[in-house]
Chain A
Amino acid sequence: MTARFKQKAVVLSIVLLALLLPFIIQNDYFFHIMTLSFIWMIGVYGLNLIAGYTGYLSLAHAGFFAIGAYSLGILTVKFEIHYWLAFFLACAITCIIGLVIGLVALQTKEHFFAIYTLCVGYIIYLVIDKWESLTGGVRGLIGIPVPPDLGPISFRSPVSQYYFNLFFLLAAIFMMYRIVHSLTGRTLIAIRNSEELAQTIGISTMKNKLVSFVLSTFFAALSGILYASFIRFIGPDISYITMTFDFLIFLLVGGIGTLSGPIVGTLLIVWISQQLQFLQDYRMLIFGPLLTLLIIFYPKGIVGGIFSWKMKMQEKKKRLSMSAKSATQRAEEG
């Protein structure tokens, strides 16, 4: 009970800190980076659901991110549809494409799934890059609108953008929390641990995997849509495989299959990248080996590492108190 209370207090204080941050720090550049991190985090949560909780490494994640971003961009710029309608439509389009691809992709397993989604991601990239009349090709789409004013609130200043994206991030985290702690979440973890076993106890694995996959594309779409209306320019490179690898690094550093992993990993890597700006294209010289070492020594990332360290400590304490107890018992008996 106390542990649960403590956890709640920690979560609440972090949310409060995020809400109050604009009053403590007043720096537009800082808000730009933070807002971008929030947007990435939503996408990373999507990848976490399919790769971390369900055990299917989807390498088409950047593709869905881009489909979301481009759907919003094309609908608002070319067809001049109202922003919120386009927002909703973009989510729906991505989910439908995700559903169709998922129906086929999830027939495959393990390596085949990874390779299949890798190829799907590449097809999405090629289509965006070559279909110039629709997507603008390599030149990209310019002038994507920011969200329209909601009554007195305008979303033009960096601080309001910060709150706008923070709102969606919190909603996404809450949704993830509910999913993971629901029966569906448990089912997904069962599938990850052993698909055959899950099947033998009567779980419809295909249905659940599909739910997980479509939800993950939904998160990717949401992240892409927010990205498009935050940066206001999108090019085909956002669908490229390197983008998926970025998501993967954020997820793995933080902790794959954990709820707080995406937050920790994204914040950490984004800020380290900012510090290492002089490296620019060479940052992978550090992050590449980091990814490999992490997966060998800490496959559950920072959050997972902390968890297992805590568990060890608890066990040690238990053992100590046990031995102390038995010592006193022996002393009493003796």
Chain B
Amino acid sequence: MRPFRSRRIPAGLLAPALVAAALSLAPVAYLAVRAAEGGPRAFADVLARARTAELAVRSLGLAATVTAACAVVGISLAWLVIRTDLPGRRVFGVLAALPLAVPSYVAAYTWVAAFPAISGFWGSALVLTLCTYPLVYLPVAAALRRMDPAMEEVALSLGRSRASVVLRQLRPAAAAGSLLVAMYALAEFGAVSIMRFDVFTTQIYTSYRAGFNRTPAAVLGLLLVLVTFLIVLAEARSRGRAAYALGGSTPRRASVVRLGPARTPALAWAAAVAVPAVGFPLGSIAFWLVEGSSRGVAAAELGAAVGATLGVSAAGALVTGALAVPVGIIAARHGSRTARFVEQAAYVGHALPGIVIALSLVFFAVRYAYPLYQRWPLLVLAYAVLFLPAAVGAVRASVLQSPPVLEEVARSLGRSPLGAIRQVTLPLALPGVLAGTALVFLTAMKELPATLLLRPTGLDTLATQLWTETGSGSYGAAAPYAALLMLLAAVPGFLLGMREVR
């Protein structure tokens, strides 16, 4: 069956989706304003620099490497955990999601502190892969869990390999996850600068930090948006007309693949990912907690930071989740130009470094929403711009999983298009909506650059406290904040992992 594509998007869905799109595109508008100040010369200057091309190539190389590595790690772990008799597969299934809780700058720091020689391209690639492969693992595991085994059986009976069918069917999920990884790798600054590897975003930061000049930074930002847009297009094309094979009935559970003699290498592989991705940062933080000779931690400060972190991240997650629902449904159910625009616009924010998003919101808030400025709602909006794609991806995937025929039935029984969505589609997609919200929740907890610029004066989150302590070289004092941050972020991470292995 081909996917249900309705030409007209109900206004009740389109309006909030357009709000989300406008919000996501605000940073681009800001960049355009700032870049235009420099005139065509600004573009020419930036583009003429040999360094621009060099750094672009480096960034793309890093993004490609990380994406490929994440695809290999994410797909292989998902398959082992969901489809095989890997010993301890549930434990590994949860562990595989937990690296989401490790901020990439913390991971990078722990690696460089322990192995200074690792810095550079491969160190950056290693850290980014270990921190972001769950973005591929989670959707692929979900897709594997729901895939109808009948297809594989047919393939096997016709003499083809199991992989030929499985990989083909996993493509939409893997591509969506890889897209998030690629964009993360392109926009990342903290971890790569700790790894002493100059990338494209380094130049953006240098423009602000050293030149106090916003025009070249804006030109570079627009270039980054352009590159991201091309990647999003490529992903959409690879997704193409691929759709989930869904009948009206619930697919059987797939049979378990016996690993046999491959058990030991499989186990070794799963452990080889879990140990550096989860064990290593935890161990390092534990070491600092013990070794740190800094003064004791002020319990009140720690408590306040925990409260602030949970509060703003939860608000960010709820708003982002709410905005992602209409965008995700439109992306799953409609194929019009508007639908594509709304979906692709949502991805823009993800590709820009946090400082650009933050400055653009400063720009707009100071002019048009002054009462919100330096209050937490603005910070929440920044989280929405930054993390909307992760939530949209989750919503879209889960809406695709619910058969459109159910909506049609509801409509033939007299429900309005919106009513059918509210009563049929949304309840069925709710677990996916929640997964997206949880993902945003934990990502927002770790966010630093936008939080620093947009937080209410005096509000400290765990991430900003961590920044303060490491900024004055007090690594011992920083450790409790890092440990608590990872512990808190591990809770939604744990739930996301559990979801796949139950």
A binds B: no
